[in-house]
C-alpha cells in the first residue's frame, strides 16, 4: 500500500482531504436535520428540570412557564410512545 501511495503524482492528497471534508459536511447536515426533526433545539427545555418543589425559588411567570413546558413535553412523550408502540405492533 505504501508503494502505491508513493507512486501517485504530487497533489493527490488534496482530493482525499476534499472527499473527507465533504463527508464530514454531509454528516453534520444529517445530524442537524435529525436534531431539528427530534426537537433537540428547544430553548424551553431548561424548564423541564424544575418540579413542584421549586415553586418558591422561581418567579410566578417562570413557574407558570415551567408548568406549561412540562405539560407540553408530557403530551409529546405520550404521542411518541404511542407511535413507537404502533410501529412495534406493525413490525410483528
Q: In this structure, are 36 and 79 located in the same domain? A: no
Residue 66 near residue 58, CB atoms below 8 Å? yes
Q: In this structure, are 30 and 55 located in the same domain? A: no
Domain that holds residue 74: 42-92
Q: In this structure, are 62 and 79 located in the same domain? A: yes
Q: Helix or strand or coil: residue 92?
A: coil
- Position 64 in a domain: yes
- Position 79 in a domain: yes
Residue 88 near residue 80, CB atoms below 8 Å? no
- Position 1 in a domain: no
Q: In this structure, are 14 and 57 located in the same domain? A: no
Q: What is the distance, to the nearest Å, from the Cα of residue 51 to the centroid of all Cα atoms in its chain?
A: 24
Q: Tens place of pLDDT for every residue, the chain, 92 residues?
A: 778 777 877 788 888 899 999 999 999 999 999 998 887 887 787 787 888 888 888 888 988 998 898 898 899 889 989 999 999 898 77
Q: Structure pTM?
A: 0.55
Q: In this structure, are 14 and 51 located in the same domain? A: no
Amino acid at each position: 500500500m505504501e508503494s502505491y501511495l508513493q507512486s501517485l503524482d504530487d497533489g493527490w492528497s488534496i482530493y482525499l482531504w476534499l472527499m473527507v471534508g465533504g463527508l464530514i459536511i454531509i454528516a453534520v447536515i444529517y445530524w442537524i436535520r435529525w436534531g431539528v426533526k427530534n426537537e433537540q433545539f428547544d430553548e424551553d427545555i431548561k424548564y423541564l428540570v424544575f418540579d413542584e418543589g421549586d415553586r418558591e425559588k422561581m418567579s410566578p411567570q417562570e413557574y407558570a412557564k415551567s408548568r406549561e413546558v412540562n405539560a407540553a413535553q408530557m403530551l409529546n412523550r405520550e404521542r411518541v410512545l404511542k407511535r413507537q408502540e404502533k410501529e412495534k405492533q406493525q413490525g410483528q
